[in-house]
Amino acid sequence: MKRTSIRIAVLLAIVILLPALATAHNVSKRDATFVQANTGAAVAPFLYLGAKHMVTGYDHLLFLVGVIFFLYRLKDVVQYVSLFTVGHSLTLLGGVLGGIHANSYIIDAIIGFSVVYKAFDNMDGFKRFFNFQPNTRLAVLIFGLFHGFGLATKLQEFTLAQSGLVTNIVSFNVGVEIGQVLALTGVLIGLSYWRTRPGFLQHAFLTNTVLMVGGFILVGYQLTGYFVA
Amino acid sequence: MSEETYTVTIHPPSKKRIAKAAFVALISAAALLVTAVLPAEYGIDPLGTGKLLRLTDLAKADAQTPEKAATSAPDSKSEEPPATIMPVLEPSPNGSAPIVKGAFIAQSKRYKIDSREMKLAPGEGMEIKYNMKKGSGLIYSWTASDKLLFEFHGEPNVKPAGKEGTDYYETYELDDQVGKDQGHGTFVAPTSGIHGWFWENKTGKEVNIKLVSAGFYDWIFQNVKNKETALKTMDPDIIPSHPKVPDEVLH
């Protein structure tokens, strides 16, 4: 029995990490050429780019795995993911349209930190150490704001044509949501299956430790980038 | 969410266990970062593990991948027009005018035009490049109010073997000693990529520069102080129609 759950844990880890290994996180150079040369509204391409960014954006995915890890009811999943969506939509639209330029390495480091935070939260660290449970919904919303800034900086690395700007950013944002739903569906299927196994709770702590490792790696990776790139 | 969790958890984690896990997570992350992630992503290899595991090759290869992706884009390789004009004179089969083959490179779309006036502050440099496919033509004139050092050059989309992922470029004309205040010419792109000029103002005062061109390009690349911008082209239709002046009659 125990062996099965370990196998599932490994499988889940592979499913989560595979896109990270296979693709680079930034909008690829070929996509970048399109974004720059594009003028006017182009709904479908920006939808696709947004969805692609989300499905292959392992930092956003790690955070969402942490968020839905202990959510058993679909109602809760929908509620938390909606809060995350509201948060990152606000800053994605506001950041690009308002011309707010944040440093992408710093933002990505904060996104990495959000993974560490959520893993610590899932370990019940706040209750144990500070005798206090920060509002989990508020945390998802606030970190959602940072994730949105991260998405915005990815688009701002290119000069976007002014014509059709709003349409294109909204398309990108809708694409992000589509990608998020696609990725979450996969994660939820994996988690739901795993939860039916007796090993889930035994390995939940270990999994969140692994999640925390992932978060720390992201923080170190981005901070190094900030100093060397 | 945690409220739900701990009604079912058998052993709630102790303070010590959480601290241990967080510490282990931090140490493992640091170890993985230093031994694998930094060598593979940035080529930073403090312990030499990157070289040992050949991860540092990834740092170089990573930069190559987008280039390779770019070459698979349909526009760059599907049709390969000749890069140079090489006319061949063939005798006429029926005794009329001789035939010259390969005197032009046909295009499927109308050409674009560009006209822009720019200012270069003392010590400032600027780059304007046209995105052109191999074999596409460009007619250009640039004139400046004073001498500018310049390099007319191109960056092929497909870099030669061994130069993948680098800022590889090819020089067409270079004057980095005296400089010129104008350049005019006909250019046929030897590769698909971006082709154009880097100008630098080494005089003590501001220099105005005017660039006009017509050619088969889709967008214009501008680089000022490392700010890269894709500029728009103009359609030849904006040129006014032939003015109503009497034409000279040729005898």
Q: How confident is the model over A160-200, as pLDDT tens digits?
A: 666 677 888 888 889 888 888 888 888 888 888 888 887 78
Amino acid at B37: V
Domains of chain B: 12-69 (no CATH), 112-237 (2.60.120.680)
The number of CA neighbours under 13 Å toward the Cβ of A157 is 16
CA distance A127 to chain B (A): 9
Gap between the Cα atoms of A229 and A222, Å rounded: 10
Please list every residue in chain B whose beta carbon sits closer than 8 Å to the beta carbon of residue A209: 21-22, 24-25
Q: Which residues contact A213 (CB under 8 A, 6 or more apart)?
A: B25, B28, B29, B32
A30, A127, A216: residue with CB nearest B2: A127
Q: CB-based contacts of B130: which residues, under 8 Å, 6+ apart?
A: B114, B138, B194, B195, B196, B213, B215, B217, B220, B221
Give the DSSP letter string of chain B: -HHHHHHH-SSPPPHHHHHHHHHHHHHHHHHHIIIIIHHHHH---TTSHHHHTT-HHHHHHHHHHHHHHHHHSHHHHSS---SS---EEE--TTSSSPEEESS----SS--EEEEEEEEE-TT-EEEEEEEE-TT-EEEEEEEEEEEEEEEEEEEESSPPTT-TTS---EEEEEEEEEEEEEEEEEEE-SSSEEEEEEEE--SSS-EEEEEEEEES-S-EEEEETTEEEEEPPB-GGGSPPPPS-PPPPP-
Q: Taking CB atoms and an 8 Å limit, are B228 and A159 in contact across chains? A: yes
Tokens of B197: 């000029």
User: Is the CB of A122 less than 8 angstroms away from the CB of B42?
Assistant: no
Across the interface, whether the CB atoms of B8 and A201 are under 8 A apart is answered yes
Q: Which residues pair with B117 in a beta bridge?
A: B210
The nearest CA of chain A is from the CA of B10 a distance in Å of 8
pTM above 0.80, yes or no: no
Instruction: Among A125, A205, A228, select the one facing B42 at the smallest CB separation.
Output: A228
Could you report the per-residue pLDDT of B99-126, keeping only the tens digit for each?
888 888 888 889 999 999 999 999 899 9
pLDDT in tens, B3-21: 444 444 456 678 888 888 8
What pLDDT was estimated at residue A31? Answer: 63
Nearest to A30 among B22, B24, B69 (CB): B69
Rg (CA), chain A: 18
Q: Where are the domains of chain A?
A: 2-228
What tens digit of pLDDT does each residue of A50-96 get? Answer: 888 777 778 888 998 899 888 888 888 888 988 998 998 999 888 88
